[in-house]
Amino acid sequence: MIVISPNLVRNNDFVYVLDELSRAKFNICAIKKKKIDMLNLEYLFKDLAPKTHSLSTLEGEFNRGESVILVLEKTKAITEVQELIGTFSIKINSDWEKKKSK
């Protein structure tokens, strides 16, 4: 499952993410546009908080609008999507700003 931030959704840049996933031969099984509140953040990122993500920092971004949630399918999907997107952690606001500028 991939969660695309409201910043990319608001700018309509999430279509470029969809295009890259399609080119990499991922099957998009489901797609939904939804506002993600703190309860949903806790559910989606519970295994990553607080090791790699700060929920309070993520909450500030996800309060800005709707997100796009994707369910992908492919053999070795997790390792291949990490190669495509990269891995990162967001523990403080400056981490989020650095990631957005890349």
Query: In this predicted structure, what is the pLDDT of residue 80?
Result: 85
Q: What's the whole-number mean pLDDT along residues 81-97?
A: 64
Indicate whether 95 pLDDT > 70.
no
- Give the chain's domains with CATH numbers: 2-101 (3.30.70.141)
Q: Which residues of 59-80 are buried (b: 16+ CB within 10 A; e: fewer)?
A: eebbeeeebbbbebeeeebeeb
Q: Is the pTM of this model over 0.85?
A: no
For the record, the structure tokens of 19 come out as: 């295009």
How far is 18 from 81, CA to CA, in rounded Å?
Answer: 12
Confirm if 31 and 70 have CB atoms less than 8 A apart.
Answer: yes
pLDDT in tens, 22-78: 999 999 999 999 999 988 888 887 776 666 667 777 888 888 899 999 999 988 887
pLDDT level of residue 89 (50, 70, 90 thresholds):
low
